[in-house]
Amino acid sequence: MSKVPKKYYWFKLKDNFFTEPKIKKLRRIAGGDTYTVILLKTMLLTLKTNGILEYEGLEKTLAEELALKLDEDDNNVLATLTFMQQMKLLEEIDINTYDIPQVRILTGSESVSTSRVRKHREKQKALHCNTHVTECNENVTTEKEIENKREEIENKNLSREEDFLTFRKRIKKHYLGKPLVRGPVGFLPDTVISLSATGFLHNEISGKDLNSDDAKKVWSYIFENKKQLLGKENK
């Protein structure tokens, strides 16, 4: 079996991170510097999952589980998560599933081979630039254009991901307590799926909320078939 190519991920911290009002507010709280570190560590933890944080049930609460993973104090993690939710930096999107939207905007990645080639080119360019200054300046311009194009493509992909989250928020706002889907839904037999008062997908036939895995599949199905399922107002 062939191995999945490994990728390196990094977090692009903006130059105004510490002057952004929400972060300034966090740092002014007693213990705020510690909370800021926990916030950053939490974001780093979700790099490979595109900002999605899942509660796996390893501990009694999400805060305790995250404290275990980050090697941080339970109370400090709880305070950080509470602040993040209040400031919309952390949003519950499903049962035991949370989203940190900023992570997708600030995440970069490259494969092992790409990293090796990039480092080799940087080394060769440095040697070459010692004797060809003008040509190197032109190469820098070309590389910037390529990088800008790459970022443009990544932003388009990012917009598609954000469209799904925006769609789900709108549905939760307007369809609370109302049926969303009637009839078979792919893997589910004939049923009626609605949004419970707490915002979770609810199976009217069984009288139970969907588990996390089934809820993800149904949300995906609803999003992909929103025109047929939800009418013109959600196109």
For the chain, the farthest-separated pair of C-alpha atoms sits apart, in whole angstroms, at 76
Q: Are residues 94 and 122 in the same domain?
A: no
Last residue of a domain, one of 145, 166, 187: 166
Is residue 98 one of the residues assigned to a domain?
Answer: yes
> pTM of this prediction?
0.50
State the total domains in the chain: 3
Q: Are residues 186 and 142 in the same domain?
A: no
Listed residue (220, 9, 214) closest to 107, CA to CA:
9
**Pair 98, 85: CB distance under 8 Å:** no
Domain span including residue 48: 7-104
pLDDT tens, residue by residue, 85-127? 999 999 888 888 899 988 887 876 544 444 455 555 566 666 6
pLDDT tens, residue by residue, 142-179? 666 666 665 665 555 545 555 777 777 777 777 777 77
**Pair 200, 210: CB distance under 8 Å:** yes
**Cα distance between residue 3 and residue 1, in whole Å:** 6
pLDDT of residue 86: 92
Mean pLDDT over 11-33 rounds to 90
Is residue 1 one of the residues assigned to a domain?
Answer: no
